[in-house]
Amino acid sequence: MKLYNTLTKKKEDFIPIKEGEVSMYVCGPTVYNLIHIGNARPMIVFDSARRYMEYKGYKVNFVSNFTDVDDKIIAKALEEGVPAEEVSQRYIAECKKDMAAMNVRPATVHPLATQEIPGMIEMIQTLIDKGFAYDVNGTVYFRTRKFDEYGKLSHKNLDDLRTGGRSLLVSGEDQKDDPLDFVLWKPKKEGEPAWKAPWSEGRPGWHIECSEMSKKYLGEEIDIHAGGEDLIFPHHENEIAQSECCNGKTFARYWMHNAFLNIDNRKMSKSLGNFFTVREIGEKYDLQVLRFFMLSAHYRSPLNFSADIMESSKSALNRIVTAVDNCKHVIETVAIEELTANEGEKLQEIKEYRSKFEEAMDDDLNTADAISAIFELVKFSNTEVSEKSSKAFAEAVKEEIVSLSDILGLLVDRRAETLDSEIEDLIAQRQAARKARDFARADEIRDELLAKGIVLEDTREGVKWKRA
């Protein structure tokens, strides 16, 4: 499998550090609002990458954080007159519902920045001890000049940045030795959440959060680090500087970045106010349509959102669902059970579509071409599966369409959705785990249900559930 590596600007063969295993870290959202469909792009893209790598037999350790301490969260909490934690917890829960509704599987671990402060303090201390960081009146800065490779990911000319940066200094930042030095720790302002540290009572900078969470859950050197392309500079550049200077190892081997989701050919963002939340789109469309739309373009190509494109995505996805339904109708109604010799030969033909699918995905996750391969298969199904077919033939074709779609997380066999009885069973298991005070298992089951699009609600009358 080849992946485009932002670090080398080349497509490279993917060779994991440990054979058969992949460690992958995806920068998650800052939780102060419902996520918008721009935020959904990395979620859908990298969930599909994970699914494909699992399909290829890798064991994927997939970590994605929630940034739950940040200026925007604090501002929102002040506005509402509630603790910051209440805001972040609320939007983490909402984000998980949106993920489930888009069939984005929960990560192996979803660490929270606020739960990992001691590890961050330790990393900052190591950086100070090694001379890569300095404390000015309680604010700790990273000394970018000391890291020779600073700029290697974003391929930026640092001297230009430095001269440009002088005039960009924000007030209070003039104590820095260099405009490119960035904050590792900052003292608290009145009313802000804060933790005790050797330099001041305060909170970590954004970049150090990911360096620490990646190290804790995946190790000092990982296979893939990913996120939206806006994170290349400064966020990922700074993560590399911190981690490599602290640990003395390559931080991540492959850097993957998705291009932006635009609207009217402008980047969709909260600050520009030109966004739709996943929730809003979910009111109009099955979110499978959104998933299909996101995967219909290569993840490194900009994607423009419009009502028209959602409508055409809806009908395209429907064509796959209808082909599956037709196969099911044939399975239920035809008399011939066994595959005929002619059908056996025909089935050899469909292997070609799977090869095309794999070839596309192996080429830097070209989901657009992978979807084209599914459509070729749909066309085959529409011409070859009929009331003259055997059950076995219709079944085999149906299975092929469903399984290729499934690798992309697209649910096209509508009746294969989780049965109510399975859900009840999992809920009973969760109750038993809770009773046994095995809360980790209970949470695991809740996440498993969430991944199936089932949201649990603990009420006084017991646990209730609904489809997200």
Q: Which residues bind Zn ion (CB under 5 A)?
A: 27, 210
Which residue carries 């809740």 as its tokens?
Answer: 446
Q: What single-letter amino acid sits at 335?
A: A
Should residue 296 be labelled a site residue for ligand AMP when binding is judged by CB under 6 A?
no
Determine the interface stretch with ligand AMP among 74-82, 172-180, 265-273, 327-335 (rule: CB under 6 A).
265-273
Q: Which does 376 bind (CB under 5 to 8 A by kind): ligand AMP, Zn ion, none?
A: none
Give SS3 for 69: coil
Should residue 73 be labelled a site residue for ligand AMP when binding is judged by CB under 6 A?
no
Q: Which does 210 bind (CB under 5 to 8 A by kind): ligand AMP, Zn ion, none?
A: Zn ion
Q: Which does 46 bind (CB under 5 to 8 A by kind): Zn ion, ligand AMP, none?
A: none
Burial class (CB in 10 A: 0-12, 13-18, 19+), 64: buried
Should residue 230 be labelled a site residue for ligand AMP when binding is judged by CB under 6 A?
yes
- Nearer to ligand AMP by Cβ, of 87 and 404: the residue is 87
Query: 289-308 burial, b if ≥16 CB within 10 A, otherwise e?
Result: bbbbbbbbbbbbeebebeee
Going along 339-400, which residue ranges are E strands?
none
Which of 260, 353, 357, 393 lies at the binding interface for ligand AMP (CB under 6 A)? Answer: 260
The torsion defined by the Cα of 52, 54, 58 and 64, in degrees rounded to 10, comes to 90
Which residue carries 């055997």 as its tokens?
Answer: 390
Q: What single-letter amino acid sits at 48?
A: S
- A 10 A CB-CB count for 432 gives 13
# of chain residues touching ligand AMP (CB under 6 A): 17
Smallest gap from Cβ 266 to Zn ion, in A, equals 24
Nearest-angstrom CA–CA distance, 417 and 423: 11
Interacting residues with ligand AMP between 13 and 42 (CB under 6 A):
27, 29-30, 38-39, 41-42
Nearest-angstrom CA–CA distance, 138 and 172: 12
Smallest gap from Cβ 430 to ligand AMP, in A, equals 30
- Nearer to Zn ion by Cβ, of 47 and 400: the residue is 47
Question: What element of type H or E holds 87?
Answer: helix 84-101
Smallest gap from Cβ 235 to Zn ion, in A, equals 6
Smallest gap from Cβ 311 to ligand AMP, in A, equals 21
Smallest gap from Cβ 213 to Zn ion, in A, equals 8
Binding site for ligand AMP (CB under 6 A): 27, 29-30, 38-39, 41-42, 227-228, 230-231, 258, 260-261, 267-269
